[in-house]
Amino acid sequence: MGKIIDGKAIAAGLYEEMREEVIQFEKQYGRRPGLTVIIVGEDPASQIYVSHKEVAAKKIGLVSAVVRMPESTTQEELLAVIDRLNADPTVDGILVQLPVPKHIDKDAVIAAVAPDKDVDGFFGMKSGFTMKEGYVAPCTARACIHLIKTTGETIEGKHALVVGRGELVGKPVATLLLGENATVTIAHSRTRNLGEIARTADIIIAAVGRPMIITGDMVKPGAILIDVGINRGADGKVCGDIDYASAKPVAGWITPVPGGVGPMTIAMLIRNTLDCFLSHVQ
Ligand code: GUN
């Protein structure tokens, strides 16, 4: 029977450590790390995500701000705010919550954030399957790697299957796994014989956004299963991309949904902010 990787508890431990770090930073460098989140428009899911980020930032003692801009904001107005934050020495991390309204060019916005303040890690990832030295990695990808490492099992030499090829999770997590010397396969919604491939994987990261695409019969006994999916199942309940009930008895380790990758992603956003701060003060 697979053991549960408790993302919520692991994140709580990281918050404790980071809170201590922030106290030390203030003593040593005379200021605390600053994170500013920009949200444009009224998307209800985005409002919730941003409030979670704000709560986490305050909890560990960051100088936290949220810039709320109306749906009608022009691209020029948004870029002007980003420019102001880029130039503000008390702001170490800038995050523009996505999606932005359709009349705004998302890529232009992402590109406008100073690379050394890009806590989303978009800049650090922008060169194929290589991370740029000195920049942080995307939060969710970092969360997945951290969760795997908490099992105490090695990543090097293992076969890691990433299901999903998105820019936010699939590609970045495949890149980080390569950096950990895993043998990486990337599958996606069009992959044939997914079950056959999955059964040879020691680690599966499911990040495709399809409920229960990985079932217990597709899991190698003892495998580590990391479920990034957040879906609404046929029964109306939140579920992941992995069929937890059938996969857990076969797996060695498994993350629940909710309570797995989600809480860790926000902890990693805070970690990225501390890392950006360190790159500014050191
Ligand atoms: N919206 C949903 N996920 C994300 C994310 O990881 N970063 C940003 N900036 N917006 C998001």
**pLDDT tens digits for range 117-170:** 999 999 988 667 888 889 999 999 999 999 999 999 999 999 999 999 998 999
The confidence score (pLDDT) of residue 126 equals 67
The confidence score (pLDDT) of residue 127 equals 67
Q: Which two three-digit tokens encode residue 69?
A: 């801009």
The confidence score (pLDDT) of residue 189 equals 87
**Residue ranges per domain, the chain?**
29-115, 139-262
The confidence score (pLDDT) of residue 74 equals 98
Given the candidates 3.30.360.10, 1.20.1250.20, 2.30.30.40, 3.40.50.720, the CATH classification of the domain at 139-262 is 3.40.50.720
Distance 99 CA to ligand 1 centre (A): 7
Beta-strand pair 224-227/253-254? parallel
For the CA of 99, the closest atom of ligand 1 is 1
For the CA of 98, the closest atom of ligand 1 is 10
Q: What is the distance between the alpha carbons of residues 107 and 24, in angstroms, rounded to a whole number?
A: 36
29-115 and 139-262: same fold?
A: yes
The confidence score (pLDDT) of residue 129 equals 86
Catalytic center residues: 53, 97, 120
Name the burial class of residue 120, with classes exposed (0-12), middle (13-18) and buried (19+) by CB atoms within 10 angstroms of its CB. buried
Name the burial class of residue 44, with classes exposed (0-12), middle (13-18) and buried (19+) by CB atoms within 10 angstroms of its CB. exposed
Task: Answer yes or no: is the C-beta of 120 below 6 A from any ligand 1 atom.
Answer: yes
Task: Answer yes or no: is the C-beta of 37 below 6 A from any ligand 1 atom.
Answer: no
Distance 98 CA to ligand 1 centre (A): 5
Buried b / exposed e along 178-192 (16+ C-beta atoms within 10 A): eebebbbbbbeeebe
Distance 262 CA to ligand 1 centre (A): 12
Instruction: Encode pLDDT of 58-116 as tens digits.
Output: 999 999 999 999 999 999 999 999 999 999 999 999 999 999 999 999 999 999 999 99
**Domain 29-115 - what CATH class?**
alpha beta
What residue owns the CA closest to ligand 1's atom 3?
98
What residue owns the CA closest to ligand 1's atom 1?
98
Pocket probe for ligand 1: among 98, 266, 272, the residue whose CB has the most ligand atoms within 8 Å is 98
